Amino acid sequence: MLKKLLNINGLLTRLSPKDKSMRERLPFWMFIYVMTIIYIALGYYAEGLVKRIAKNKQEVKEKRAAYISLKSQLMQLSKQTRLAKALKDHYTGISESRTPPKKIKALD
């Protein structure tokens, strides 16, 4: 009995109509069925992909804005006048040099 159930040809014979032309068209209809399932699956996959792309674009915009903001803050903090004021406020004893730097020349 089990061997008879596992026999695909016998299963197709029992499930298909007695008309021979319908049995001959069964592979075509199975192909259409499989292609329809693949089409639906690809539609869902594409929709998910579009959502992920939109989410990633939003993340890139947010990270770019954060980067520009941090870069601007860093440039403000690293200005010479800002550094001199910070050193003066903290009483570190370090002060801004009033003399220009001198070049050191090496003798060949």
Q: At what angle do helices 20-77 and 80-89 cross, to 10 degrees?
A: 60
Which pLDDT score is estimated for 50? 97
Question: What pLDDT band is residue 17 in, cutting at 50, 70 and 90?
Answer: low
4 pLDDT higher than 70 = no
Half-sphere exposure (CA, 13 Å, Cβ side) for 48? 6
Pairwise CA distance, residues 76 & 82, whole Å:
7
Pairwise CA distance, residues 65 & 59, whole Å:
10
Q: Quick one: which H or E segment has residue 15? A: helix 8-15
pLDDT tens for residues 33-68? 999 999 999 999 999 999 999 999 999 999 999 999
pLDDT tens for residues 60-91? 999 999 999 999 998 887 787 777 777 777 77
Domain extent listing, the chain? 19-89
The chain-wide mean pLDDT, for the chain, equals 83
The tokens describing 10, both together, are 């016998």
Instruction: Write down the pTM of the prediction.
Output: 0.51
Pairwise CA distance, residues 4 & 11, whole Å:
8
